[in-house]
Chains A and B, each alone.
Chain A
Amino acid sequence: MLDREHVEDLLAKVGYIADPQLAMAIAMMDRLERPLLLEGDAGVGKTQVAISLAESLGRKLIRLQCYEGLDFSNAIYEWNYQRQILAIKILENDDLDAAQKESHIFSEDFLLKRPLLQAILEDEPPVLLIDEVDRADEEFEAYLLEVLSGYQISIPEFGTIKAKTIPYVVLTSNGTRELSDALRRRCLYNFVDYPNEEAELRILKAHYPDIDKVLAGQVVRFIQALRHEDLFKKPGIAETLDWAAALIGLNVTRIESQGKSLHQSLMCVLKTRSDRDAIGPEYAQMIAEKVA
């Protein structure tokens, strides 16, 4: 059984710095065998939670990317119709009776396992990541709820498949659509916020252990300052890491003494035209001097 500190250590080993609240939620997910719903702005590392958790526990990561129109044949299971037709043709001349033929073509060999089915059939509990669940439509939520509440799937031709092990289920949502109350109630909840200065510094150092200490501090404070600006797309953690990598590659040690190239390097961080216009070269320089 996982406890909070254990989770924090495990995740830190694979470079994910979790705040105690999140670590506690993951420990609860293990203890209560309930899925964990993560909400928060894009780029705060929601998806990475599942990826890092799988890596740190040495478990398989099964990912279901949601999109509009996702249905059970793409998420749960589908029969392999082409193979079934072939099998029927091959069996035509055998003297098996109809029932035997039927049980043959509706056996597990002909079942295409999609992520949700696959996740409950693993011998070791995998981490099941249901990414951007808000992009799927309401109908899909109903299927999902059925699987997540009973951890079993019924296939009419085959019978009910019970979970061998209960997977760790992590759902992420960006709030493009309001999720149903039923799904919310089934899940533990955690709102993932942007990391504070200290945590972000730890994240940066976990990824680039050799980074110049002063530069790391400047990068983090600069990004933190940017997040307070009124931007269309606030820079996430990935942007911080990209930018730091770019600066390291350019042998930059102080961001305030870069002149024009400071603004140019911000293409790793400001990714829409309006945001680039909002943070012009002079303004970027001003922030850089302030955080130096």
Chain B
Amino acid sequence: MDDGAHLDFSTLDGCGGMPVHQRMLEFARELRANEFVIGSGDVAEAASALSGIDLLDRDEAHWVLRSVFCSNVRDWSKFEKIFHNFWLRHDVPSTVIAGDAASGTSKIMDVPNKPDPKGAFADLLESLAPGDGDEGAEASGTGRSEGASSAENTETADLAHLADTDELEKVRELASRLSKKIRYRRARRYRFGPKGKRLDLRRTMQKSVSSGGTPIKLYRRERREKPFKLVVLLDVSGSMDLHSTFFLRFMHAVLAEFEQAEAFAFHTRLVQLSTVLMERDPEKFADRLTLLAQGWSGGTKIGECLADFNAQYAKSILTSRSMVIIVSDGFDTGEPEHLAQEMAALKRRSKRLIWLNPLIGQNGYEPKAGGMAAALPHVDLFASAHDVESLAALENELARM
């Protein structure tokens, strides 16, 4: 706050030819440009709230408007700056709005405007485009795609070699089956149901009217099923290149099946994929993924990405009815202690923490990579997921939880 300046509420009295409500409407518009949700009623209310306030005291007005216009922490922390820019500036307000809105959106627009993405992940994404799945997998350098040609082989083929549409369909079916098994868990809330153990007194009384108030038929309540939330964190670093394509497809199918699911990809940083993966049109889906892929490169910092997840998303996303699946080979360039710490925090917030490691299927692999060993004590289920069979085994494992 710059103490020298006076709040330009003098305009509220009509100074500069701008009546009170007009200026307030413009302020509301400015806030909306900054992602505030403001109804038309709120503006009128704010104006009436201000009527009892000493308008020359800019703190007072600031406090009033902040209470009325903010509705969450993000609004709360942004408000002060917007307020001061708007009311303490002596420019014509419309230029303020235009300028700020433009700079605000250009920030967002930056990403899509960048030129073609490069690197392994981009190749991987190309293989996701519909119709050219075969070429994509071959282009990604597996060199063994002939193994995935017969339907019989599908069950044991490494996921990395699955590419043609038929086989892809199988992975999808598996994902759907899996999600159906774990989609619902019993909730605390009761509702009417014939098999319940609890009496529904309200309904019993209501229905007893026909028998003169004697409750002959008893009605019961049972526990309701509630959607179970699944959060998938997928490692898309270089060492996972062979597998990430298929886990992306798997995630896509799971997101489509679950009522509540979130997907993230990580590398050296964390990116929320849910909004992209929920895209049902495969072409748009590939386009949007490509946009997200920009700037991705190098190794894996699992610990840092999990820390990011814990700090930014865990609070609002994870509930006691959430399962977190991490898909990674555990090759981490960060500190193992850091990873262990973040895994512990993640475990505290979720019902079940699962680590799928595609390397388990490979001969001679032991989970000794520094990060992997540090993470293991916090994991409820450590399982292999490199082919359809291991995913199918997991299906039962998950259903049993």
Contacts and interface: CB of A to CB of B under 8 A. Distances in A.
Interface of A: 1, 3-4, 20-21, 24-25, 28, 31-32, 34, 36-37, 39, 68-69, 71, 73, 78-79, 81, 84-85, 88-89, 137, 139, 175-178, 181, 184-185, 187-191, 232, 274
B45 A20 contact: no
A209 B281 CA distance: 67
Nearest to A181: B37
Contact of B66 (A1, A21, A175, A181): A21
A177 B76 CA distance: 18
Contact of B202 (A1, A73, A187): A73
Given A68-B188, A69-B187, A189 B71 contact: yes
B67 interface: yes
B63 A24 contact: yes
A183 to B, nearest CB: 9
B73 interface: yes
Interface residues of B, number: 37
A188 B316 contact: no
Given A28-B67, A32-B45, A85-B215, A185 B205 contact: no
Given A184-B72, A187-B71, A191-B73, A28 B64 contact: yes
Contact of B52 (A3, A68, A175): A3
A185 B72 CA distance: 10
Interface in B54-111: 59-60, 63-64, 66-68, 70-73, 75-77
B73 A39 contact: yes
Nearest to B344: A274
B396 interface: no
B195 interface: no
Given A28-B64, A71-B189, 15 more contacts: A1-B52, A21-B63, A32-B68, A34-B45, A68-B187, A69-B187, A69-B189, A81-B202, A81-B205, A84-B205, A88-B213, A89-B213, A175-B315, A188-B67, A274-B344
A137 to B, nearest CB: 7
A177 B226 CA distance: 15
Nearest to A19: B63
A24 B188 contact: no
B215 A185 contact: no
Nearest to A140: B189
